[in-house]
């Protein structure tokens, strides 16, 4: 990717807005925006549609022939490769007669990486790279990580009291945060590929674990895949999370075959993973590799406490969203994150590029963590 750090031009800013609007529907393709400009006027702007449909550049250039125009696109245009389902955008751009293309960032996909830029330049098209690169890189972090590592981008989420508790000593947790915070979380659920919880949370809360964002119609997003970690086979077959179908149960060889078969009959997919080192759960790194191979670009980990602790202790979290309510639970209330295995302050996970938002009476603290960075 380009290391250039330039300000975002007004035309690229519009293309980025278009890309953001498509974030909930394009996966496993990247969410891309494109804009056609001619003599300072916006002729057309579009974004990538659902997987298998036309890409942003193709949508923007459809029916247009403006050789003196400039095409702005947030990501390097795609090229031909084995298994590709749509016409390469480089070919569409070349056929359109466009003489100048402004690209935000290079595509990290090894099948494309730099080849689209080369093809355009070989066709006599002027190509500029780096407009809006920082903003676009931030927007495409899940896609970039998946293409670089084969692993999902993992976001940890919890809602807690100001003293870090996610439930009282009796297990009461609905609702710690207010309506605005909950709706913000549902909007995040609406764009990720998968939501993950442990069997303890699935049993105690019996959640449907679906995305229910306000002001978004069903056609504006795709329901995420629901994933339950259940190493020993505890989840009841009548759990809400199994209906409708589209649930993965990640378990270990310790769970009974009859239990696995019963869940399969309910439409669940079973993934058998190696046990964790302590034998009480499953191998999380192996699970992430399997999910990545299934084109899961982004994973929203909602808990519970032990699951979040395991992910953090193994340095598997890329980003944290902590919804904090101005209440104090105290006492024997359940902590948001169990032990991370660190013994000194120097070892504890630290957030980078922290953002704090006020959501009515609550606060959202979010930032990047872990070793990976684009």
Token pair of 57 as six digits: 């550049």
- Residue 251 Rama label (left phi>0; alpha psi -120 to 50; beta): beta
Residue 340 has pLDDT above 80, yes or no: no
Q: What pLDDT is stored for residue 24 in this prediction?
A: 85
Q: What pLDDT is stored for residue 25 in this prediction?
A: 87
- Give the residue among 111, 151, 140, 147 at the shortest CA–CA distance from 26: 140
Using 50, 70 and 90 to split pLDDT, how confident is the model at 296? very high
Q: Is residue 357 part of a domain?
A: yes
pLDDT mean over 273-283: 81
Q: Is residue 34 part of a domain?
A: yes
Indicate the range of 29-43, 99-113, 144-158, 274-288 predicted with least confidence: 274-288
State the total domains in the chain: 2
Indicate the range of 40-54, 270-284, 333-347 predicted with least confidence: 333-347
**358 near 181, Cβ under 8 Å?**
no
pLDDT mean over 172-185: 85
Q: CA dihedral defined by 244, 142, 107, 6, rounded to 10 degrees?
A: 140
| Residues 292, 322 within the same domain | yes
- Give the residue among 128, 27, 125 at the shortest CA–CA distance from 72: 128
Q: Is residue 328 part of a domain?
A: yes
Using 50, 70 and 90 to split pLDDT, how confident is the model at 132? very high
* pLDDT > 90 fraction of the chain, expressed in percent and rounded: 60
| Residues 201, 220 within the same domain | yes
Residue 298's CATH number: 3.40.430.10
Q: What pLDDT is stored for residue 73 in this prediction?
A: 97
Q: Is residue 5 part of a domain?
A: no
Residue 168 has pLDDT above 90, yes or no: no
Of residues 333 and 231, more confidence is placed in 231
| Residues 118, 172 within the same domain | no
| Residues 218, 291 within the same domain | yes
Residue 350 has pLDDT above 90, yes or no: no
pLDDT mean over 31-59: 90
Using 50, 70 and 90 to split pLDDT, how confident is the model at 86? confident
Q: What pLDDT is stored for residue 346 in this prediction?
A: 66
**Domain-ending residue, one of 139, 154, 171:** 139
pLDDT mean over 350-369: 94
Q: What pLDDT is stored for residue 1 in this prediction?
A: 41
Residue 33's CATH number: 3.40.140.10
Q: What pLDDT is stored for residue 166 in this prediction?
A: 82
pLDDT mean over 11-24: 94
What is the spatial order of strands in the sheet that 126-129 belongs to?
41-47, 33-38, 70-75, 100-105, 126-129
Of residues 211 and 121, more confidence is placed in 121
The residues facing 319 across adjacent strands are 155, 368
Q: Is residue 215 part of a domain?
A: yes
Neighbours of 175 (CB within 10 A): 11
**Distance between CA atoms of residues 348 and 336, nearest Å:** 15
Give the range of the structural domain holding residue 277, as residue numbers without chain letter.
145-368
pLDDT mean over 220-230: 89
Residue 136 has pLDDT above 70, yes or no: yes
The single-letter DSSP state of residue 41 is E
Q: What pLDDT is stored for residue 4 in this prediction?
A: 44
**Distance between CA atoms of residues 2 and 133, nearest Å:** 8
| Residues 82, 210 within the same domain | no
Phi, psi of 81 (to 5 degrees): -155, 165
**Domain-ending residue, one of 109, 139, 169:** 139
Sign of CA dihedral 101, 102, 107, 110: positive
β-strand pairing of 225-229 with 70-75: unpaired
**280 near 252, Cβ under 8 Å?**
no
pLDDT mean over 221-232: 90
pLDDT mean over 329-337: 79
Q: What pLDDT is stored for residue 354 in this prediction?
A: 95
Phi, psi of 129 (to 5 degrees): -130, 140
**85 near 50, Cβ under 8 Å?**
no
Residue 304 has pLDDT above 70, yes or no: yes
| Residues 201, 173 within the same domain | yes
Q: Is residue 1 part of a domain?
A: no
| Residues 185, 166 within the same domain | yes
Of residues 322 and 83, more confidence is placed in 322
**334 near 165, Cβ under 8 Å?**
yes
Residue numbers annotated as active site: 57
**Domain-ending residue, one of 112, 139, 166:** 139
| Residues 42, 19 within the same domain | yes
- Give the residue among 315, 324, 335 at the shortest CA–CA distance from 365: 324
* pLDDT > 70 fraction of the chain, expressed in percent and rounded: 94
Inter-CA distances, 280 with 109, 171, 254, 267, 310, Å: 36, 22, 10, 26, 11
Token pair of 227 as six digits: 């994933």
């Amino acid at each position: 990717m380009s290391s250039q750090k330039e300000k975002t031009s007004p035309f690229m800013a519009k293309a980025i807005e278009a890309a953001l609007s498509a974030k909930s529907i394009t996966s496993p393709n990247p969410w891309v925006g494109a804009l056609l400009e001619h003599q300072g006027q916006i002729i057309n702007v579009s974004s990538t549609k659902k997987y298998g449909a036309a890409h942003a550049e193709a949508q923007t250039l459809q029916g247009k022939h403006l050789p003196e125009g400039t095409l702005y696109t947030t990501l390097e245009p795609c090229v031909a490769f084995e298994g590709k389902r749509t016409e390469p955008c480089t070919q569409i751009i070349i056929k359109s007669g466009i003489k100048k293309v402004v690209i935000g960032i290079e595509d990290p996909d090894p099948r494309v990486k730099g080849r689209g830029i080369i093809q355009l330049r070989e066709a006599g098209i002027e190509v500029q790279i780096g407009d809006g690169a920082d903003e676009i890189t931030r927007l495409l972090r899940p896609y970039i990580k998946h293409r670089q590592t084969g692993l999902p981008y993992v976001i940890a989420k919890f809602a807690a009291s100001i003293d870090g508790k996610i439930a009282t000593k009796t297990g009461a947790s609905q609702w710690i945060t207010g309506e605005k915070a909950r709706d913000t979380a549902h909007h995040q659920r609406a764009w990720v590929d998968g939501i993950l919880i442990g069997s303890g949370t699935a049993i105690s809360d019996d959640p449907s674990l679906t995305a229910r964002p306000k002001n978004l119609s069903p056609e504006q997003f795709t329901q995420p895949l629901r994933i339950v970690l259940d190493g020993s086979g505890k989840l009841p077959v009548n759990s809400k999370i199994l209906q409708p179908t589209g649930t993965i149960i990640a378990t270990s060889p310790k769970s009974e075959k009859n239990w696995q078969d019963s869940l399969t009959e309910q439409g669940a997919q079973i993934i058998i993973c190696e046990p964790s080192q302590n034998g009480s759960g499953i191998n999380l790194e192996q699970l992430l590799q399997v999910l990545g191979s299934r084109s899961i670009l982004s994973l929203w980990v909602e808990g519970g406490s032990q699951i979040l602790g395991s992910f953090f202790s193994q340095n598997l979290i890329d980003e944290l969203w902590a919804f904090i309510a101005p209440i104090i639970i105290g006492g024997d209330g359940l902590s948001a994150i169990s032990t991370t295995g660190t013994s000194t302050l120097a070892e504890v996970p630290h957030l980078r590029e922290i953002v704090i938002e006020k959501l009515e009476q609550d606060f959202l603290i979010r930032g990047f963590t872990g070793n990976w960075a684009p």
